[in-house]
Amino acid sequence: MTLLFYTNLTSKGQMTLPAVIRKELGLAPGSRVRVQWDGQRAFIDPTPDVAELRARARAEAEAAGTWGKPYHAGDGFSAHVRRADA
């Protein structure tokens, strides 16, 4: 189902999202949103909080078998540091 709403821009370029949309997106005062432009349309998405991003990153790393693996001397970083100091 597609709903259509109209809103006005202020002189500062601000607009008010209709309450229905704020509720559906779970937005509250101070919430951050992502605005994406595809060349013709703008899309507004709620920005996930940091805890959610960390949980997603951990789940992906665990699925790939890389979660909790320490770096070691053979990872190329130590060689990079030596080149930078030279």
What is the average pLDDT across 35-59?
Answer: 87
What are the chain's domains?
A: 1-47 (2.10.260), 50-85 (no CATH)
**Please, what is the average pLDDT of the chain?**
83
Whole-structure pTM value: 0.53
pLDDT above 80 (res 12): yes
Q: How confident is the model at residue 76 (pLDDT cuts 50, 70, 90)?
A: low
Q: How confident is the model at residue 68 (pLDDT cuts 50, 70, 90)?
A: confident
Q: Is 46 left (phi over 0), alpha (psi -120 to 50) or beta?
A: beta
Q: How confident is the model at residue 83 (pLDDT cuts 50, 70, 90)?
A: low
Distance, in Å, from the CA atom of 3 to the CA atom of 20, rounded to the nearest integer, reads 10
> For residue 38, what are its two tokens?
């595809």
